[in-house]
A and B are shown apart, each in its own frame.
Chain A
């Protein structure tokens, strides 16, 4: 089992998202995250899909995506140099002064921004890799337990430009 990344170009049409997500549920493929958005071409949407699977299943997933009429191109990002980021908002409620000091320290260490604050509640905006966000969530859960509220967007990824980055 290995973490995989797929970049998918699809027709920007009604029902394509459900077609793709339905393929995963219908065939019992595991899906970690899926994001979709418009591209420079208004007729094409681009998806970033992350999933965890063995080699055989992953090959099958790529083939199944590729044979869908709505899919224009499947690119496997798994072993490529990519820039990949996920947006995460964390709200921490009922903060004491010590909590707030701690949160400002955490934000500095993790390089994330505190974008809103009312004396009791702190809102963090974290645009990092999925793993880094996982680490941050683990830390915040440990420190603030049930007082946190989380929303995360799923990753978007794009291939690196520089040759050195591409390895």
Chain B
């Protein structure tokens, strides 16, 4: 049989796995792999400017295309720079395979230059981590990595490749299938449990669906919409579940959680059957857990058995893939007669909408303009207020998508994720909604967006603060704005909590920064200029455009459930006299 190097087998494996885009940053212990990739035409090798930006880009690529995102970096610092991105992707069940160079086997343990125990570092933040110790194990290990990353509850697999394994000769065989005896993703649905669930649902007076990210990951949006429409049961989503059914559908209530809508949180607090699919009932959505959905019988479908009955007690647990379960439900479900209940929810929706008011340049106006002008865009968010506003106001239909770091809450995610999304969806508009803080965490990727000619629209909501923390400091820490002012300079008064009180200029000047990269920069300070800026950005098809929106410095995300309080104990509006 033909003998090839490990590096050549690596390239062959990528092609067999239909990898068309590789996010890669070279280095000493990965040089053989890059050598094998030289001149490669079938794989588009993308060189970002930092490994963290690299992995978030792979993550955005994976989330937006449904394919496995693939990273390749060198050993030591190349690998450790992936850590935040690995945790981010794994927490949100994004399929990634990360190849990391490693020092040669015989040097491992010697504190060799650029040596780290990367499998050891990542073991607790990924789905599976493995070092290939023998050339003859390479093909099977790569096959296994892709299989594990994309099946079951998707996640991140780390494959550590020592340099001598890359250069060693061996067979060129790559397997078509693999069985892993300790890994059996759940493929069937337990019909007995499902029938019980349906029976409970059919007898409900006040039922709701609570949909998490699982439905989006399983690409079961169409089926979920059918199920909601067939039964007439209102749909509430988590942040990760947003878009499970179109947000414009009359059955869609809103997001649950500490920044959820009043109607959604009230419906959860008052429902008698809570039918949940693909959520882990994380603390951000439950509020005070003892008072969560106290009147409800709870049904929980999740592909991960460990997510069921962990945070809340469940009456009917069902371990299954969301799409398969919804298919099975569609066969047997029937319309419910619950108009009193849906009327009540609609009344809450009407009486207590999320609304920031009409004064000034508000995030609501910006996001609503995006809704109007970009019907089939991919919108990525950063983390913080920009993310929460987006989850409150962004409309998601059948042709658009929101990418956000929901589980880990990684600042610096939004912009590089948009780069990956644009590379995977060149014909779609890709928009970043970021804050001035998060944008600076991976701003070096401006160069990546320029060199690959990616006309991404970057909306920076600039309030000169790390706004979400500042909001908590305002509401729960007596306005002590500790380390949250982005306009602070050494010359400022100690303990200042007065925005716009002879504040120094903002650094950087985002417009000049955009221009220095060869991108376009637009600053918007008035509501009436929002649309014009978005039109200009849309017309710029060659380079990214930064639109810097100068928003009110102390604008808050409302409503909010204060820490330790139950979901129905919301603060709806900011206290009088603060505005």
**A: which residues have CB within 8 A of B?**
10-11, 14-15, 18-19, 22-23, 26, 56, 59-60, 63-64, 66-72
Contacts and interface: CB of A to CB of B under 8 A. Distances in A.
A22 B120 CA distance: 10
Contact of B123 (A19, A60, A63, A66): A19
- What are the 8 A-B residue pairs with the smallest beta carbon separation, nearest first? A63-B306, A72-B182, A69-B128, A69-B183, A26-B124, A63-B305, A71-B182, A64-B306
A67 B120 contact: no
A22 B182 contact: no
A69 B120 contact: no
A69 B124 contact: no
B304 interface: yes
Nearest to A44: B181
A22 B310 CA distance: 19
A139 B99 CA distance: 56
Given A26-B124, A56-B309, A66-B305, 11 more contacts: A11-B182, A19-B123, A22-B123, A64-B306, A66-B306, A67-B306, A69-B127, A69-B148, A69-B182, A69-B183, A70-B182
6 contacts: A11-B182, A14-B133, A26-B124, A69-B127, A69-B148, A69-B182
Nearest to B181: A72
What range describes how many residues of B lie at the interface? 10 to 19
Of the candidates A11, A56, A60, A67, the one having the most CB atoms from chain B within 10 angstroms of its own CB is A67
Nearest to B152: A67
Given A18-B120, A19-B123, A69-B148, A59 B180 contact: no
A59 B305 CA distance: 10
A40 B520 CA distance: 67
B182 A60 contact: no
A74 to B, nearest CB: 10
Contacts of B124: 22-23, 26
Contact of A69 (B131, B180, B305, B310): B180
Nearest to B128: A69
Contacts of A56: 309
Interface string B89-124: 000000000000000000000000000000110011
Contact of B310 (A10, A15, A60, A66): A60
Contacts of A19: 123
A23 B131 CA distance: 19
Contacts of A60: 306, 310
A15 B128 CA distance: 11
A15 B304 contact: no
Interface of B is mostly: loop
A7 B183 CA distance: 18
Nearest to B185: A67
A15 B119 contact: yes
A18 B120 CA distance: 9
A71 B123 CA distance: 14
A10 B124 CA distance: 17
Contacts of B128: 69
Contacts of B180: 69
Nearest to A60: B310
Nearest to B133: A14
A23 B305 CA distance: 16
Nearest to A10: B182
A63 B119 CA distance: 22
Contacts of A11: 182
Interface string B430-461: 00000000000000000000000000000000
Interface string B52-67: 0000000000000000
Interface string B181-223: 1110000000000000000000000000000000000000000
Contacts of B133: 14
A59 B183 contact: no
B557 to A, nearest CB: 31
Contacts of A70: 182
B120 A15 contact: yes
Contacts of B305: 63, 66-67
Of the candidates B119, B124, B182, B305, the one having the most CB atoms from chain A within 10 angstroms of its own CB is B182
A56 B308 CA distance: 11
Given A59-B309, A63-B306, A64-B306, A15 B123 contact: yes
A67 B310 CA distance: 14
Contacts of B183: 69
Contacts of A63: 305-306
A4 B125 CA distance: 27
A18 B182 contact: no
A56 B312 CA distance: 10
A125 to B, nearest CB: 36
Nearest to B319: A63
A38 B304 CA distance: 30
Contacts of A69: 127-128, 148, 180, 182-183
Contact of A68 (B120, B182, B304, B309): B182
Nearest to A70: B182
Contacts of A59: 309
B177 to A, nearest CB: 17
A62 to B, nearest CB: 9
Interface string B310-345: 100000000000000000000000000000000000
